[in-house]
Amino acid sequence: MAIVHKTTLVPSKLELLTVWLPRQPWYLGGDRPRLVRSGGFRLDDPVGEVGIEVMVVTDEAGAEPVGYIVPMTYRAAAMPGCADALVGTTEHGVLGTRFVYDAPADPVFRTQSRALVHGGVGAQAQHASDTADLTVLVGVVPEVTDVDVVRVPIPSNGAPAPGEVSIAWELPNGSRTRGVIARAR
């Protein structure tokens, strides 16, 4: 299981995302997002080299808040050929320099997200080591070619359909909502 360190990140994940997010084609807001962390979960890298986090951030800058799914991987070294997927670098108080990537470009994330939808791995708590996140619901399917991230979650209060992943997160008013954040193909 991955170890979640209680330490500093400079710049923070939200600071990195505030610069990176407006440059994404699926981003619906303006050029100055006001982001808050709203939820998410982690996946374990069986080798223990790559941190994998699926984060929900809410942009409160517009007339209505908008939630985004931002899966990220954290590596000790740059991934060759993946400069376009680099969110940025940060200094981790325990692990040193971390290269932060938009996770769909990372083969470790793709493998573990397929395993999640296939039922081979479980979601882990975002802020606690060795703790399953039972709020992540998966419509397990036996065959998974790949998993597509749904960047703006699709509201869903029921059980996920086969091949879907749904999670709950907190809205700015303190209530909770649930939505589909990934689909197998």
For the cut 60, the answer to whether the pLDDT of residue 1 exceeds it is no
Q: Is 108 helix (H, G, I), strand (E, B) or coil?
A: helix
For the chain, give the percent of residues with pLDDT over 90. Answer: 79
State the pLDDT confidence band at 6, using cuts at 50, 70 and 90. Answer: low
In sequence order, which ranges of the chain are alpha helices (DSSP H)? 13-20, 107-118
Angstrom distance (rounded) from CA 129 to CA 133: 11
Range 107-117 average pLDDT: 97
pLDDT, tens digit, for every residue of 23-33? Answer: 999 999 988 99
**Mean pLDDT, the chain, integer:** 92
pLDDT, tens digit, for every residue of 80-98? Answer: 999 999 999 998 766 769 9
Residue 4 has a pLDDT of 63
Range 140-158 average pLDDT: 93
- Residue 107 has φ and ψ, to the nearest 5°, of -60, -30
Range 110-131 average pLDDT: 91
Angstrom distance (rounded) from CA 92 to CA 98: 7
Range 94-109 average pLDDT: 91
